[in-house]
Amino acid sequence: MGGASQAAGGNKTTGHAGQAKKGREGTMIEDQEALDLAADWADISQGLKKDLGSQLHSQWIKPIQLGSFCKDTGTLDLFLPTEFSANWVADRFADRLSLAWKIARAEVRQVRITVHPRRRTMPDLRVAAAFEPAAPARAVAPAVAETALAGLDPSLTFADFVSGSANVLAVNAAQRMAALETPQFSPLYLKASTGQGKTHLLHAIGHAYAAAKPGARIFYCSAERFMIEFVQAMRSNEMIEFKARLRGFDLLLVDDIQFIIGKASTQEEFLHTIDALMSAGKRLVVAADRAPQALDGVEQRLLSRLSMGLVADIQPADIELRRKILEHRLARFGNAQVPGDVIEFLARTINRNVRELVGGLNKLIAYAQLTGQPVSLSLAEEQLTDILSANRRRITIDEIQRTVCQFYRVDRTEMASKRRARAVVRPRQVAMYLAKVLTPRSYPEIGRKFGGRDHSTVIHAVRLIEELRTRDADMDGDVRTLLRQLED
């Protein structure tokens, strides 16, 4: 009995020791995983610093903290200190961060960017100097620093904004609002759908006005942040300070004004802020995704104030402007090599908004640089599937063949015939090229629609037309005309 008890006791002791050993091993494994994640993040962060530059990296990427990684879901958490910075980074760098992590670690399937769970409080939006009594004029450097604290993105300037027929009114109005001369209209209301550049123009106005008027008090915020500050001021009995703060700015820039809908007390305070700024000769610029009259749930007096200046509409970018934007953006990547047919493909295919267009180019170049692959049409189709499918109008190969035959005045049956006369072959090759550019079909699928031709024949046709477009103005003109007819 005693022996049995002693043996049992010995086993029990051994069991505790085994559990303790497993616990230490588990902790060591977790510690090693954390170190590996940190090492990967150091490499990724350094690569982003080279791509984005020190200023943007320091402001937005450096504050990121690594969170936990869930192996079951493949989700990696990245934390930022404030809601604003988390939203800003998620909006502009989510694709790039996700791609970098997937390349570094195959098991990472999703990157989640949120505010740190222990710091879920909104930042104090106050710009210290703007809340103090008037002081003697200061040097330029402090004024620039103050502007940066006011929420302006240093990369969003007029120099980096590409203008065209779709946005020329808004750009000219924005530049007038940023000039020293008193603008002929106030407030300026920028109206555009998502991703067309209204937020960029708001930031550009702030930067230009700061340069034109050193020491100016400038503040950029979203309507949502305005409401949060308003509610916080009410709860802490600081309404007098809140009002004095807002009305002390020389230029107030308010984004996404549509989100102020339905908040009666906030609308009332915003109305009084507009009146105070206007009567003091200050400047106000607001932006929204719809016209003032389309803001449901907004008090009539506020609608009247918003409409009494200039409402500048930014139309969706046309094909020429999309090309200019891509070429302008490409210049920022230095030695990145992107063929002309890829630029043309992106400009024609990603047509919903400029943000998606630029994001698509960024993602493509980042992927090519991180994997060492050259940028090509096939790589663009492979890596931008989601963006392309969301933007692409469903053009069929039958529609392409019909349009090409009408343009070149050949019979529709010639698309599938075996005839090799030049008057037939060239239109057939153009149709194959357009089928590759405008549809998601593979080379073999396209070949089957052209009389069961081999995929190598389609590849030859696509490459030939690409080459002819670069050295034959008539061919390039024909293709451009056909593209317009098919995309209208």
Backbone torsion region of residue 409, taken as left when φ is above 0, otherwise alpha when ψ lies between -120 and 50, otherwise beta: left
DSSP character string of 251-294: EEEEE-GGGGTT-HHHHHHHHHHHHHHHHTT-EEEEEESS-GGG
Average pLDDT over residues 237-244: 84
Per-residue pLDDT, 300: 86
Domains of the chain: 17-119 (3.30.300.180), 128-313 (3.40.50.300), 319-391 (1.10.8.60), 397-487 (1.10.1750.10)
Grade residue 31 by pLDDT with cuts at 50, 70 and 90. Answer: low
pLDDT value at residue 201: 95
Nearest to 281 by CA among 175, 181, 189, 210: 181
Q: What angle do CA 303, 308, 314 make, to 5 degrees?
A: 85
User: pLDDT value at position 70?
Assistant: 87
The per-residue pLDDT for 429 is 94
Residue 378: alpha-carbon gap to chain centroid:
23
pLDDT at residue 454 above 80? yes
- Average pLDDT value for residue range 189-194: 91
Per cent of the chain over pLDDT 90 is: 28
- Structure confidence by residue, pLDDT tens digits, 201-222: 999 999 999 999 988 899 888 8
Q: Which two tokens stand for residue 436?
A: 């590759």
pLDDT tens sequence across 399-437: 999 999 999 999 999 999 988 888 899 999 999 999 998
Q: Is 80 helix (H, G, I), strand (E, B) or coil?
A: strand
Q: For the segment 94-122, what is each residue's pLDDT rounded down to a tens digit?
A: 878 887 888 778 788 889 998 877 544 43
Distance of CA 238 to the CA centre of its chain: 36
Whole-structure pTM value: 0.55
Res. 381: pLDDT tops 70: yes
* Residues 189-200, mean pLDDT to the nearest whole number: 91
Give me the mean pLDDT over the 300-320 stretch. Answer: 90
Rounded to an integer, the average pLDDT of 284-291 is 91
Order of strands, edge to edge, in the sheet holding 110-115? 65-70, 75-80, 110-115
- The share of the chain scoring above pLDDT 70, in percent, equals 83
> Quick check: 161 pLDDT over 90?
yes
Single out the residue of 113, 149, 114 nearest to residue 130, CA to CA.
149
Distance CA 192, CA 315 (A): 7
